[in-house]
Amino acid sequence: MNRLVIVSNRVADLRSNSQSGGLAVGLADALRARGGIWFGWDGTTSDDLAAPTVDDIGPVRTIAAPLTETDYNEYYVGFANSVLWPLFHYRLDLVDYRTEFHDGYMRVNERLAETLLSELRADDVIWVHDYHLIPFAACLRALGCRQRIGFFLHIPFPPPDLLTATPNHVALVEALLEYDVVGLQTSSDAANLKRYLAEQLGREVGEDGRVDVGGRSVLVGRFPIGIDAAAFAEMARLPSSDVELDTLRQRILGRKQIIGVDRLDYSKGLPERLSAFERLLSRHPELERAVSLLQIAPPTREDVSAYPTIRKELEGMTGSINGRFADINWTPVRYIHRAVPRERLASLFRASQVGLVTPLRDGMNLVAKEYVAAQDPDDPGVLVLSQFAGAAEELEEALIVNPYDADDVADRLYEALTMPLDERSDRHAALHRRILHQDARAWLEGFLARLDEADAAEAVCRPIPRTERLLPRAAER
Ligand code: GDG
């Protein structure tokens, strides 16, 4: 089997046992099985770009390179998180486009490709992840690489009308055509990309998702990401004394708990979620002192200006709801703005009667799948899920809501809190079957099988003269 090279914005810490999620574990397992490299940013800034940090762990080499302060501001904070993230989450109002951001994005992609080049073997299979690195294959091809290269987009792909609102949209999508396989989370994401290719680039996409690009075939497909459901369920079953104590207290007081877990990001619909919870309490006074919302929202990307704003909004709303409804021994909203260890998260999911997952837009949303995996099959909780999460395409037996409609969310929350055991069990069994079937391994093996099939000989096999490059170097523009 050919060696695997994973390229992602951040390199996972393969020496730590407490991996942040099933995704990193799954990718690390695939790397160990095939041998290979995990390459990306080391998370630091430095003016000394001389040598990246190389760590050999058995058959796997991790290579992590720093960014300069300017690169961090233009590539990471700028183009990736102030242009592509909001744009791909349908938030044109939050896009902060600047030419220097795009230049920085191209510069970093080119430099990272040059750094990786000397490590590559002719028969490697390369798998690039996410919106930070869309032009990475184009940069490698420009350096003469002819290996199979695949790309997976973890976030949504927007409809063409939205995408065309940003300059460079043509170059961005043409850069995707330098890959052999382009994977998206849902069929609507895949349909959006295919529509763009047809309408804006006049490219015909076959029924089988194949696009012919100058005699080369690019596969555009749906590869819904999953979790290691069995391992997460196991973790949720482990005793956690503080969670058990809290559960006992809730049970004695006859209280139920709704849980939300999200990075504090505007795409996750947190203010809308709090409004819906407030609506639930106003419409059902009998639920006062009988239900609470536990919202865990660790900080993220605080250097991007939209993020401190949403944090303040959330703190204000939490204070206002608690001020209005709280009683001496009941706090309606418990809000934790810190990361919670993964094991405790799993126990908390199991101890909560409702999992509330209401993003305004989300590529997949793994929390929805983790909540289902963590439930006790004999007394499962109910998942309330946004229609705008990619997961809604698969998890049909959840209570599906429109996160913009506070009344709808409040009604479904009430339904979830009062649902009889029979119905909860039926819905959970169906959801559980789905997440076990489409788990992290199925996703990984499904994508790599398609990439392994790609005919490397058809790939671009010569250095492209600068004048022919789809993506001009920043300095040449
Ligand atoms: C992107 C896409 C897509 C959260 N808080 C804590 C914590 N988490 C963990 C969750 C889950 C992960 O982080 C979040 O994954 P999501 O899928 O929900 O969302 P994004 O971070 O936005 O991920 C998304 C995903 O990529 C994969 O393709 O599904 O649509 O946006 O695993 O449990 N983990 C710990 N403490 C926390 O406080 N330990």
pLDDT reading at 40 higher than 50: yes
pLDDT-derived band at 47, boundaries 50, 70, 90: confident
CB burial of residue 235 (10 Å; 0-12, 13-18, 19+): buried
Task: Say what angle helices 241-252 and 342-350 make with each other, to 10 degrees.
Answer: 20
Mean pLDDT value of segment 224-242: 91
Q: What is the pLDDT of residues 128-158, one digit of tens each?
A: 999 999 999 999 999 999 999 999 999 999 9
344 touches ligand 1 (CB under 6 Å): no
| Distance separating alpha carbons of residues 464 and 356, to the nearest angstrom | 50
Where exactly are the structural domains of the chain?
A: 4-226+440-466, 229-437
340 touches ligand 1 (CB under 6 Å): yes
Decide if 287 contacts 327 (C-beta within 8 A).
no
Mean pLDDT value of segment 413-435: 98
User: Which two three-digit tokens encode residue 237?
Assistant: 């079953």
Alpha-carbon Rg of the chain, whole angstroms? Answer: 23
21 touches ligand 1 (CB under 6 Å): yes
Q: What is the pLDDT of residues 79-103, one digit of tens each?
A: 999 999 999 999 999 999 999 999 9
Q: What is the dihedral of CA 340, 347, 416, 363, to 10 degrees?
A: 50
pLDDT-derived band at 459, boundaries 50, 70, 90: very low
Contacts of 430 (CB under 8 A, 6+ apart): 396, 397
- Is 229-437 in CATH node 3.40.50.2000? yes
Mapping DSSP onto H, E and C, the string for the chain reads CCCEEEEEEECCCCCCCCCCCHHHHHHHHHHHHHCEEEEEEEEEECCCCCCCEEEEECCEEEEEEEECHHHHHHHHHHHHHHHHHHHHCCCHHHCCCCHHHHHHHHHHHHHHHHHHHCCCCCCCEEEEECHHHCCHHHHHHHCCCCCEEEEECCCCCCCHHHHCCCCCHHHHHHHHCCCCEEEECCHHHHHHHHHHHHHHHCCCECCCCEEEECCEEEEEEECCCCCCHHHHHHHHHCCCHHHHHHHHHHHHCCCEEEEEECCCCHHHCHHHHHHHHHHHHHHCHHHCCCEEEEEECCCCCCCCCHHHHHHHHHHHHHHHHHHHHCECCECCEEEECCCCCHHHHHHHHHCCCEEEECCCCECCCHHHHHHHHHCCCCCCCEEEEECCEHHHHCCCCCEEECCCCHHHHHHHHHHHHCCCHHHHHHHHHHHHHHHHHCCHHHHHHHHHHHHHHCCHHHCCCCCCCHHHCCCCCHHHC
The β-bridge relationship of strands 60-67 and 53-57 is antiparallel
pLDDT-derived band at 393, boundaries 50, 70, 90: very high
pLDDT at 20: 56
| Distance separating alpha carbons of residues 469 and 149, to the nearest angstrom | 18
Q: What is the pLDDT of residues 398-412, one digit of tens each?
A: 999 999 999 999 999
Compute the distance from residue 226 Cα to the ligand 1 centre, in Å.
Answer: 12
* Active-site residue identified among 103, 362, 428, 432: 362
Mean pLDDT value of segment 256-262: 97
pLDDT-derived band at 464, boundaries 50, 70, 90: very low
469 touches ligand 1 (CB under 6 Å): no
Decide if 62 contacts 54 (C-beta within 8 A).
yes
Compute the distance from residue 350 Cα to the ligand 1 centre, in Å.
Answer: 17
Compute the distance from residue 477 Cα to the ligand 1 centre, in Å.
Answer: 37
pLDDT-derived band at 21, boundaries 50, 70, 90: low
pLDDT reading at 471 higher than 60: no
pLDDT-derived band at 51, boundaries 50, 70, 90: confident
Decide if 402 contacts 387 (C-beta within 8 A).
yes
Compute the distance from residue 227 Cα to the ligand 1 centre, in Å.
Answer: 11
| Distance separating alpha carbons of residues 367 and 391, to the nearest angstrom | 10
Compute the distance from residue 263 Cα to the ligand 1 centre, in Å.
Answer: 7
Compute the distance from residue 96 Cα to the ligand 1 centre, in Å.
Answer: 24
Q: Which of 367, 370, 435 to mutate for ligand 1's pocket (most ligand atoms within 8 Å of CB)?
A: 367
298 touches ligand 1 (CB under 6 Å): yes
* Active-site residue identified among 89, 102, 129, 154: 154
What CATH number does the domain located at 4-226+440-466 have? Answer: 3.40.50.2000
Do 4-226+440-466 and 229-437 fold alike per CATH? yes
For the chain, give the mean pLDDT.
Answer: 92
Among protein residues, the one with the nearest Cα to ligand 1's atom 1 is 154
Catalytic residue list contains 437: no
pLDDT reading at 209 higher than 80: yes
365 touches ligand 1 (CB under 6 Å): yes
pLDDT at 166: 92
Closest alpha carbon to 21 in 463, 440, 455, 371 = 440
pLDDT at 303: 87
Compute the distance from residue 22 Cα to the ligand 1 centre, in Å.
Answer: 10
Contacts of 473 (CB under 8 A, 6+ apart): 106, 107, 110, 466
pLDDT reading at 30 higher than 60: yes
Q: Which of 89, 343, 366 to mutate for ligand 1's pocket (most ligand atoms within 8 Å of CB)?
A: 366
pLDDT reading at 470 higher than 50: no
Catalytic residue list contains 362: yes
pLDDT at 358: 98
Which is higher by pLDDT, 171 or 245? Answer: 171
pLDDT-derived band at 241, boundaries 50, 70, 90: confident
Closest alpha carbon to 296 in 243, 330, 335 = 335
Compute the distance from residue 261 Cα to the ligand 1 centre, in Å.
Answer: 8
pLDDT at 16: 74
362 touches ligand 1 (CB under 6 Å): yes
pLDDT at 350: 96
| Distance separating alpha carbons of residues 26 and 308, to the nearest angstrom | 33
281 touches ligand 1 (CB under 6 Å): no
For the chain, how far is it from start to end, CA to CA, in angstroms? 41
Mean pLDDT value of segment 416-441: 97
pLDDT at 26: 77
Q: Which residues pair with 399 in a beta bridge?
A: 384
Mean pLDDT value of segment 222-244: 90
Q: Which of 128, 340, 356, 364 to mutate for ligand 1's pocket (most ligand atoms within 8 Å of CB)?
A: 364
Neighbours of 160 (CB within 10 A): 18
pLDDT at 477: 36
pLDDT reading at 50 higher than 80: no
Q: Which of 189, 261, 348, 358 to mutate for ligand 1's pocket (most ligand atoms within 8 Å of CB)?
A: 261
pLDDT reading at 22 higher than 60: no
The pTM of the whole model exceeds 0.85: yes
Q: How far is CA 153 from CA 189, 300, 354, in A?
A: 10, 20, 29
